[in-house]
Amino acid sequence: MPERPPRHRSSSPRKHSWLRPANGRPATDETPEPGPAAGQAPDQGSVVQAAVYRDGHRVATPGSLADTYRQLREQPDSMAWIGLYRPTENELVSLAEEFDLHQLAVEDALEAHQRPKLERYGDTLFVVLRAARYLDAPEEVDFGELHVFVGPDFVITVRHGAAPDLSAVRRRMEATPELLALGPEAVLYAILDAVVDGYAPVVAGVQNDIDEIETEVFGGDPAVSRRIYELAREMVEFQRATRPLVGMLHGLMAGFAKYGTDDELQRYLRDVADHVTHTSERVDGFRSALTDILQVNATLVTQQQNAEMRALAEAGFEQNEEIKKISSWAAILFAPTLVGTIYGMNFDHMPELTWKFGYPFAIGLMALVCVSLYFIFKRRDWL
């Protein structure tokens, strides 16, 4: 391993002005994390695990940040790997003091909600990653944020979410000491590889969802539009997590010669870059497919609505024709009733009542009116 450069250590903690508000009082977390477990060292806080390695083997397992600093100083040519989960301001200030971390990187690690990026501050790399995991029950993609500080003799991981499982990464590296002996860059590779491998189940889950959505679209499920929209939103977030990784890994590969990266690590990182490129292309394809499916669904919904409107119009037309027939026959039957009603009135001064031809005339009048109305309605296609 390269010789460890001297780090600045002051006898008393420095007051980092960039972590203080304008009023000069120390900033505090509005929503404090759960305190240390019983029996835990008071200054351990959010330290998930800290270890010191030499030649690929663990030589110390400190119980606190202070112990880690001491063990690192006492072990020549060693490397510290510190894992934190949502650290407090005081812990990050302590790490910044010990490892001379840049203030901008410390601010990003404290605030979280950063986009994936790779930045170099002197001999320290600062990497922000967006890990993802697929949740089967709600059919959602859960994103976690991971910040990694990589220096000549240290790796600090700051997690702001459930993913990724860095304990598995640590076990894998400890099981391959020849890889871990390559130093902090090897740990960074393992973390990148774990994050990228974590995308595979997400891709498979999304592919399965898209297949189900296609079936639902052509099956006429009315609730599928909402599912398409929600999955499209997930793909936008997935794109934001994966697309910057392509440029980040190419940036790492561009510095292989300048920073003397081990040949084996170069091959590993190229493999990770290939996987990231493949995943990014799949995610782009998913988003395009969802856009096309949404358009097809809109077209099918429009066609279905048009068919329903046409069916309603045809039903209304048929109903109107039936009403015409009913109205026509009602008018025809009403005519003789009207004549019969008039001649059924028993007034004394009705000349037709005593007329010899009164009855035949009334019957003929009824028949004439009925026949006339029948031909009139027939000509107008009401009958």
| 35 pLDDT more than 60 | no
pLDDT at 18 over 90: no
* Mean pLDDT across 203-227: 85
In a domain, 305, yes or no: no
In this structure, the answer to whether residues 47 and 188 fall within a common structural domain is yes
Neighbours of 315 (CB within 10 A): 10
User: What distance in Å separates the CA atoms of residue 134 and residue 209, rounded to the nearest whole number?
Assistant: 11
- Residue 137 and residue 18: Cα distance in Å, rounded? 42
**Domain for residue 231, yes or no?**
no
Q: How high is the pLDDT of residue 362?
A: 84
**Is the separation of the CB atoms in 128 and 114 below 8 Å?**
yes
Assign 45 a pLDDT band (cuts: 50, 70, 90).
Answer: low
Q: Quick check: is 95 in a domain?
A: yes
Q: Is the pLDDT of residue 3 over 60?
A: no
Cα distances (angstroms) measured from residue 110 to each of 201, 272, 355 = 29, 28, 115
The Cα–Cα gap between 239 and 224 comes to 22
Cβ–Cβ under 8 Å, residues 201 and 134: yes
Q: Has residue 116 been placed in a domain? A: yes
Model confidence at 151, in pLDDT bands (50, 70, 90)? Answer: very high
Q: Is residue 163 part of a domain?
A: yes
pLDDT bucket at 191, cuts 50 / 70 / 90? very high
Q: What is the mean pLDDT of residues 78-100?
A: 90
SS (H, E, C) 173-194: HHHCHHHHCCCHHHHHHHHHHH
Q: Residue 95 pLDDT more than 50?
A: yes
Query: pLDDT of 262-299, one tens digit each?
Result: 888 888 888 988 999 999 899 999 888 888 888 888 88
Q: What is the mean pLDDT of the chain?
A: 81
Number of domains in the chain: 2
**What is the Cα–Cα distance from 169 to 193, expressed in whole angstroms?**
9
For residues 164-181, average pLDDT: 90
Region 88-110: what's the mean pLDDT? 90
Which tens digits make up the pLDDT trace of 308-320? 888 888 888 888 8
Label the pairing between strands 79-85 and 47-54.
antiparallel
Tell me whether residue 92 is in a domain: yes
290's tokens: 């969802």
Residue ending a domain, choose from 134, 166, 197 = 197
Q: Which of 135, 169, 197 is the last residue of a domain?
A: 197
pLDDT tens for residues 338-377? 888 887 777 777 777 777 788 888 888 888 888 988 888 8
- Domain co-membership, 191 together with 335: no
Within the chain, where are the H helices? Answer: 65-74, 89-99, 103-111, 166-175, 177-180, 184-197, 199-219, 224-254, 256-259, 263-343, 358-379
Beta carbons within 10 angstroms of residue 186's beta carbon = 23
Average pLDDT over every residue of 3-16: 40
Sign of CA dihedral 257, 259, 265, 271: negative
Q: Which of 170, 197, 224 is the last residue of a domain?
A: 197
Is 71 among the domain residues?
yes
237 three-class SS: helix
Q: Residue range 100-117: average pLDDT? A: 87
Range of the domain at 347: 317-379
Residue 221 within a domain: no
Q: What is the CATH number of the domain that holds 326?
A: 1.20.58.340
Q: Match 């922000």 to its residue by tokens.
A: 128
CATH number (domain holding residue 144): 3.30.460.20
Instruction: Determine which of 26-35, 63-72, 146-155, 353-362 has the lowest per-residue pLDDT on average.
Output: 26-35
pLDDT > 90? residue 82: yes
pLDDT score for 13: 36
Check if the beta carbon of residue 132 is closer than 8 Å to that of residue 276: no
